[in-house]
Amino acid sequence: MMSIKMSQKKIFLVLLVICTVSFLLHNGGHFNWSMEAFHLRCSTLRSQITPGLKPKHTNIVFLKTHKTASTTMQNMLFRFAERNNLTMALPKPNCGHQFCYPQLFSSHFVHPHTLPPNMITSHMRFNKTALQRLMPNDTIYITILREPASMFESLFTYYSRHSGSFRRVPNGSLEAFLADPLRYYRPEEADSMYARNTLTFDLGGNKDRTATDVTYAQAFVAEVEKVFSLVMISEYFDESLVLLSHLLSWDLDDIVYVKLNMRTESSKKSLSPSLPAKIRTWNSIDAYLYDYFNASLWVKLSALGLDCVAKEVYLLRLAQERLTKSCFGGQMPVPRSASEIRNKDLRPWQPSEKVGIIGYDLPLNISHEAKELCLKYIMPEITYTQKLLHSQLLRHRQSFQNRTPQKSNIPQQSIRTTPPRHSQVHRTQPPPSNAQGSASTTKSKFTLNQGTGTSKSGPKSSNTSVL
Ligand SMILES: *[C@@H]1O[C@H](CO)[C@@H](O)[C@H](O)[C@H]1NC(C)=O
Ligand SMILES: *[C@@H]1O[C@H](CO)[C@@H](O)[C@H](O)[C@H]1NC(C)=O
Ligand SMILES: *[C@@H]1O[C@H](CO)[C@@H](O)[C@H](O)[C@H]1NC(C)=O
Ligand SMILES: *[C@@H]1O[C@H](CO)[C@@H](O)[C@H](O)[C@H]1NC(C)=O
Ligand SMILES: *[C@@H]1O[C@H](CO)[C@@H](O)[C@H](O)[C@H]1NC(C)=O
Ligand SMILES: *[C@@H]1O[C@H](CO)[C@@H](O)[C@H](O)[C@H]1NC(C)=O
Ligand SMILES: *[C@@H]1O[C@H](CO)[C@@H](O)[C@H](O)[C@H]1NC(C)=O
């Protein structure tokens, strides 16, 4: 018995050595990265272990808040919806590219040819009742918050020309505004929501409760927590994405992104030491929300295991680096101001001449296949919304045409297309068009397998995550 066991052990060891050697030989240039990835695998990282075990969740409300990295999230969801032929509810033309914000959301704001939806993510003011009626009943609700001081500085600069409360401030001085906010702020004015408790307002709450009204803030937080399964935090964006991918059973490739809608460095201001406290007092409900959900984010991260989270963040950054290199000719992309971007579709919206919003251009010599893919990662919000609406309208028309001629002899039910069996994506509703198989992974494989030589430069910052 003993000897049999021993020889089994030996055979196993010999096999292990052979495997390791051939692994090393085959991965020469990638040795460092491969070995690291090998050790860094979390038992829970879906794509690395057993793809396709649990279907990806596809019914999602992402409440897009202002100035919180939510544009990057929206871009990610748009891409996911496109890859998987999902229906994204989009605004009617007379609502612009938002759902008639700042009005409270109503299903009347949704373009009828983008119904019934799997996802919804364009700017809106949250109305739970209306959304619950519109969306499938297994919809997961997600949103994102940002630290109030840096957020307010960003709002103040971005909306300096749009919000009356900010326009009235002498010299456009944030210090002057915070010295006496009530002198400039008019709660009933259009665009006043950019000047106080913007997060609370976007979430459907009352932005004008006073700083001392802690009961309101507590009740509001409880309500938000009941509806939203995940409240992401901009300061810990990658960590939040790890939680998101676990919550939705999404792959690493599904959460790779390029940062969008950032300001040029010159239009950012650093805050003098006394300002953050003043900003928090002025935006006290937002501050309460933020502290609460930042704490609960870290509770969730700890539950997953901080080591595990750090490893997945590291893998995400590696994947991201490879993507950007493969899209931008082997280097990291150079952020450009709008006027420097050749492709007009890639120019982000500029709120005023004082604020530069950064965008990207693609190299001229990029291959057609790569261009198709890479464009989507850097496409500004308004351009992408229009493109997505266009493709969904086409699909809607096609499915309508496919249905009508057969009406006479085939019962309605059998004409409905069922989701492809081998697709990893789980739907609760029939897809609106003839979905024919899972193309969802072929494209994204390209993003992760392209590019070489990332191993040497290593991760951008494996230690930046605050653990
Ligand atoms: C929210 O939506 C529901 C359902 O559409 C509607 O009845 C309600 O009036 C809305 N709430 C507000 C405050 O507009
Ligand atoms: C969701 O709706 C379907 C029918 O539309 C129903 O059969 C199912 O029980 C509902 N699920 C939940 C969790 O309410
Ligand atoms: C605005 O700027 C001008 C010139 O920089 C200065 O003289 C003036 O005092 C400023 N006003 C306020 C209210 O800060
Ligand atoms: C978020 O919460 C963590 C854990 O409690 C804390 O260490 C960190 O300072 C908080 N971040 C901010 C920006 O408040
Ligand atoms: C495109 O041009 C850049 C230099 O301008 C070069 O580094 C890169 O390899 C080229 N890419 C392709 C796909 O030819
Ligand atoms: C999406 O639809 C297109 C065109 O109808 C089809 O070719 C593709 O295979 C579908 N992809 C998925 C993931 O269902
Ligand atoms: C492996 O990568 C790390 C950083 O990720 C680097 O410090 C180290 O020198 C690399 N080792 C080799 C053998 O390339």
446 lines ligand 4 (CB under 6 A): no
Ligand in closest contact with the CA of 100: 1
Ligand 5, atom 4: closest residue by C-alpha: 329
Q: Which residues of 104-127 are buried (b: 16+ CB within 10 A; e: fewer)?
A: ebbbebbbebbeebbbbbbbbbbb
Please check whether residue 59 is in contact with residue 90, taking contact to mean a CB–CB distance below 8 angstroms. no
CA of 170 to the centre of ligand 3 (A): 7
Atom of ligand 3 nearest to the CA of 171: 1
How many C-beta neighbours within 10 Å does residue 80 have?
A: 24
Ligand 7 atom showing the smallest separation from residue 458 Cα: 5
Closest CA to 91 of 103, 73, 76, 79: 103
**Could you list the pLDDT tens digit for every one of the 467 residues in the chain?**
555 555 666 766 666 666 555 554 454 444 444 444 444 445 554 444 454 568 999 999 999 999 888 889 999 999 999 999 999 999 999 998 999 999 999 999 999 999 999 999 999 999 999 999 999 999 999 999 999 999 999 899 888 888 999 999 998 899 999 999 999 999 999 899 999 999 999 999 999 997 778 899 999 999 999 999 999 999 999 999 999 999 999 999 999 998 765 666 666 677 888 999 999 999 999 999 999 999 999 999 999 999 999 999 999 999 988 888 888 776 667 777 777 777 777 776 666 666 666 677 777 777 777 777 888 888 888 889 999 999 999 998 888 787 765 444 444 433 333 333 343 454 444 433 333 333 333 333 333 333 333 333 333 333 222 22
365 CA from centroid of ligand 5 (Å)? 6
32-391 carries CATH number 3.40.50.2300:
no
Domain borders along the chain are 32-391
Pocket of ligand 3 (CB under 6 A): 170-171, 173, 176
Q: Is 262 exposed, middle or buried (0-12, 13-18, 19+ CB in 10 A)?
A: middle
pTM metric for this prediction: 0.75
| Closest C-alpha among 301, 297, 326 to residue 313 | 301
